[in-house]
Structure 1
């Protein structure tokens, strides 16, 4: 018994050093394997490893694509790494030449201009439009009572024109009786003028594809007018701002707009004594009225910026159009061989409200005259302030 006890004690004692040695070896082996894995980990391509979505957190990333002639390299970076990195390989997009507000976009994705071309809801976008897209735009401000006259007018404009109708009486679906209405753009806001509409819906970047823009009243007779022929004459005579010559059953306010038979275009006239201080300035030259103006794309960009948000009747605008082309007495004119009849139907004035014993017509008329005075003052003060600032800057630089 004594021998067995001694034996087992010796066996037990002799095993302990072996167990400790094995534990040490296992630890060092684990450390070595871990070290090797750690060294090799950065070389693994995470893009080729698929992890369950449940164990991969969602992280906001910024996508950058660097284009090179031979190949393109793509990097996906967390925003904080993008912002903090100063390395040449990391770029934050900022393009000052982009339109205001779009500086953070790559230039090739910026769509700064648009159009009124109608598109389908199916198929390929490239197949939406006809082979020959409309090159010009005509906009009428209309009430349903003048629908027959508008129908006659629009039939004078070919498929080369995009048609826009601004409905100031709120009636739009009634125009479905006309075939052309299906391809027209209809905008309806009650009791607004064409210049209110033009400022808000005819921004130069929206109508950028169109070479010429017609912004017409609804009470025009067009029996002697052809839009395509008109465009030819405008181009031939270099007119940036123009109108068809006018015949009227009533008196014509400005002599320059009256038709001169037997000629294609005129750009100046002799007015009543005292009306023109300079024969090259309005109303003797560089002048058209606002009932049927036609603008080139470039001139409209300037005129649009001159339109005031709160002055909706456009009175006084005709005297200021010359500021948008140079020389105005050469680039503003009246087309005589394509002429219209001004019917002078006071339909918009009926949209006013009777106030303080004044009729709706009187109220609208007074607002027109008030706006003319306000516009003249704003233009004069703006020019004086600008010239004063230029003079001051010039004196400071010398």
Structure 2
């Protein structure tokens, strides 16, 4: 009679294998892979997207609620203003806060020092004031008891600006921050911005592409890169040979190939002065073809802005639009992955750059000065239909 335990297998397990696990034990459930900070799946087709730093601009991008990774946007602006530069600063500041690697072409450290800082939440400040007032009402012994109870627990970990506490205590990442142009962003010690110089002797584009490609190859695979190119082909930054079609079109074609090579790690936003290179030129049309998204900013003349400011259809607290935004092309806009949830796509859009933020909204003309009925109708709509009826409506 053999004395042998029934729960021990007869076969010998190979060397290096863990024998503590029972054959009948279920296989471990694989933990889901979380995307990098500042990245989330699109609500339409699940592709990874990142924020441009401007919530209203994220809402325009074909319903993806962000810029899909591996895509680029070309923003043209007419006139001598620099509204597109504000969008670039929001885009770069969002990358710095999220821990992304930001590459700025043709600008120095002065440009990086002007990045907007994170805006203070008025609700948080109001909540802190209420808590301080409640704490003053509590007796000193109860307040000391609360400090004793909190001292017994584990210390609260320090959270970065990209993390907020959820309703159940879990830490949720912030996808798009709210920035304030009146504040300045404090750059990290390691400086997440790579300033790419432009050589003035020959075509600068091959050196720019080689530097970006080296950065992509030398960083970990989960590092997100943002390419910022302000005022492309501007004579103040680029040499004259850059505006030749064989130079700039090869650069955009190679950049498009680089974006497709790293579809989950790289995005790019480029601005173009349309006063020097109008959209009627064939070169600009080819540049738009090689870009995934094309937007155009058309600022209002000063006389038109004064008319809007003094119009009877505008209120005191209403922000006056400063120009029109035209959407000529959107990234990933097709029958499967775009267009379903685009905010205001196909309608007239206007933009407003205030002292603190950049807002894109639907544009509607105010009623005329002498059109009294239209003014009363607009006031009735703003008050939710609770305005007093007219005299003619009361007669019967």
* TM-score, with length taken from structure 2: 0.21
When Rg is computed on C-alpha atoms for both structures, the one with the higher figure is: 1
Larger RCO (alpha carbons 8 Å, 6+ apart): 2
* TM-score, with length taken from structure 1: 0.21
